[in-house]
Structure 1
Amino acid sequence: MPSEESARVTLVIPSYDRPEYLEQAVASAQAQTWPALDIVVCDDGSTDPEQLRLLERLERDGIAVRRFPHRGVSATLNGGIGSSDARYFLCLGDDDLIEPPYVEEAVKVAEADPRIGVVYCRADVFGAMTGPWELPDFDIGSILIDNQIFATALFRREDWLAVGGYDETMTEGREDHDFLLRILGLGRDVHRLEGTYFHYRQHDRPSLNAVTGRSTETKARVYATMLRNNQSLYLEHAEEFWLHFFRRLEEARDLRLRYRHLEALRARFPRSYGVLRTVRRSAEALTARRHQGRR
């Protein structure tokens, strides 16, 4: 059984002009069963009057609030983590929720095995869509391309220090993916709890990763940064990387063959393109959902 005080956790909630959900995220953090827990709301330069009033109310209620200039989520997370000397950290999006046992179970796993650098859990989605979030099992070859672990995972302060924190130049998304890869580059293991303790909200305001994914040029720039930040990890697992890459190519070829008749119809009947495009995007979304993690 870990010593509660020595295994203190700081739960960091970055936020930017999202008052409609922030209070719920804080409440789910307050409901955690692990007693040695601090909550820090890190505001990324919000200007919304309702958000500013909420931050003041949270402070009056005893919640620590750190205010930073608007520089993006990486700088905000680093600022919040750097303000605490806790042994462990868990970052929670200001629109997401966690279940009460999450931190306690994650700490016990990490305390029992010093080789483990990341502890996460099973998850579901709620809001505009509901149901299990069917993320693939962790696989080192896959995660070099597709993230299977969401950002709301427990990690060690010593590892955050060792990798230099989140890359603050990554303002276009995938900063959590890159951070995870750098922890794996330290030789750390990953553990998934079987409980469904993380709830990922679905709504009309897309994540930064979703926005990034719409531009091939942006994706190339972001993934190039990840490759440069994690060269040793990619080289060490080159065979696994290419195996996953070629499997993805085969899936794409299979989709093109499966829907080639629809593409032929599009050429003959251009006005039907809108319908065909919807069908194709639905097929692509089903494939992407199997492979991709959050943000």
Structure 2
Amino acid sequence: MPCYNDGEYIEQAINSVRSQTYNNIELIIIDDGSTDPNTIITLNKFNNTDIILLRTDNTRPAAARNAGIAHATGKYIMPVDADDIIEPTYIEKAVKIIESNKKIGVVYCYADLFGDRTGRWSLPNYSLDAMLLDNVVFVTSLFYKEDWEKVGGFKTTMYHGMEDYDFWLSIIELDKEIYQIPEVLFNYRIKPKSRTTEFMSNAEIVKQTYRSIYNQHPKLYEQYTNEYAVILRDALIEQIFLNRALQEGIAILDKLKSIPLLKLIIKKYIMKR
């Protein structure tokens, strides 16, 4: 559980881990150079408890996770961010599934959003096709520590994020499968500002990051060249139709603005927003 200035939320995250029906759990918190006084005070409370507290010098999430995983003694790993929550049966169900089939290397689930936005996290259901196009697996998933070792852990050179996407593709390259539990067992907190929102605000950074991920997995994308070409074509067609619908909607709105009463309603609505 990496933590950087998340003292406001971390006790909720810890309680969700402590409430698991699977009891054989080692909880490792990595204080990644927190500067917030409340966070430091909160984390200091866990010294000399059953929780292992490590400290790193603001190395960012990938390196902080790697530090915790390297210290872990368990067979399986599940990263849980300090501001998120897992449901009580998540680990038990994930362990049962990963132990049922040696081909399975990663287990995750459906997820809900909470905080600044609520509802189902509308990620596509897992498929290899979806995964080749974009990351559909969140980092709070169960995997083997030995697989983490085989692929060299999370890449710490990915400054803007998406190291979990790169990591899952590396697991797939080990000829392992990813299994999605069709049940909401994870809750992802939405905050006004996060690394994800910053990442998605810059198109050039997004393009560079995805290009880097593609270049880091040449054998995988070569293996699925034909499938990937079809996926990209379908995604492009979807974007063309979505853009057309957006432009048509804007054109209709412009026409409605010319009607006096509707113009007044739209103006009042915009002022309220």
Return the TM-score normalized by structure 1: 0.82
- Which residue of structure 2 aligns with residue 122 of structure 1? 110
Residue of structure 1 aligned with 2:32, choices 22, 28, 44: 44
Matched to 2:158, the amino acid is M
- Contact 1:128 1:203 (8 Å CA) reproduced: yes
What per-residue deviation string (whole Å, max 9, x for no partner) do you get for residues 229-281 of structure 1? 21111111122222221112111111222232455589999xx9xx9xxx9xx
Q: Deviations over 1:151-191 (max 9, x none)?
A: 10000011101100000101201011111111011110111
Tell me which residue corresponds to 1:94. 82
Counterparts of 2:92 and 2:247, CA distance in 1 = 51
Q: Who is 1:226 aligned against?
A: 213
Residue deviations 1:89-133 (CA, integer Å, cap 9, x gap) = 000111110011111111111112111100011111112222222
* Match for residue 216 of structure 1 among 182, 187, 203: 203
Matched-pair contact (CA < 8 Å) for 2:84–2:188? yes
CA distance in 2, matches of 1:106, 1:264: 49
Tell me whether 233-242 or 151-160 shows the greater mean CA deviation: 233-242
CA contact (8 A) 1:141 1:237 kept: no
Counterpart AA for 2:191: H
Larger radius of gyration between Structure 1 and Structure 2: 2
8 Å Cα contact 1:119-1:193 kept in structure 2: yes
Structure 2 distance, partners of 1:236, 1:138, is 19
What is the percent sequence identity of the aligned residues? 33
- Partner-residue secondary structure (3-state), 2:138: coil
Match of 1:113 in 2: 101
Q: Where does residue 58 of structure 2 map in the other structure?
A: 70
Q: How many residues align?
A: 259
Please tell me whether the aligned partners of residues 110 and 117 of structure 1 are also in contact (alpha carbons under 8 angstroms). yes
Contact 2:28–2:72, Cα closer than 8 Å, also in 1: no
Q: Does 1:152 align with 2:143?
A: no
Which of 11, 20, 25 is the matching residue for 1:23?
A: 11
Q: Does the 8 Å CA contact 1:119/1:191 hold for their aligned counterparts? A: yes
Q: Match of 1:51, as an amino acid?
A: T
What is the CA deviation profile of residues 50-85 of structure 1, one whole-angstrom value per residue up to 9, with x for unaligned ones?
Answer: 111111102244311110011211110100000112
Alignment of 1:144-293 (within 5 A): 144-206=132-194, 208-263=195-250
Q: 1:164 to 1:240 in 2, by over 3 A?
A: same
- CA distance in 2 between counterparts of 1:261 and 1:101 reads 47
Output the CA distance in 1 between the equivalents of 2:26 and 2:239. Answer: 45
Q: Separation in 2 of the partners of 1:235 and 1:258? A: 34
- Rounded to whole Å, the distance in 1 between the matches of 2:72 and 2:202 is 36
Residue 84 of structure 1 aligns with which residue?
Answer: 72
Contact 1:15–1:94 (8 Å) recurs in 2? yes
Contact preservation (8 Å) 2:16, 2:85: yes
The CA distance in 1 between the partners of 2:140 and 2:172, in whole Å, is: 16
Aligned residue identity for 1:38: E
Contiguous gaps of at least 5 residues in structure 1: 1-12, 280-295
Runs of 4+ displaced beyond 4 Å: 262-269
Gaps of 5+ in 2: 258-262
Pairs within 5 Å for 1:129-144: 129-144=117-132
More off after superposition, 19-28 vs 134-143: 134-143
Secondary structure, in 3 states, of the residue corresponding to 2:13?
Answer: helix
Q: Output the TM-score relative to the length of structure 2.
A: 0.89
Question: Is the Cα contact below 8 Å between 1:145 and 1:241 reproduced in 2?
Answer: yes
Report if aligned partners of 2:124, 2:130 keep a CA contact under 8 Å in 1.
Answer: no
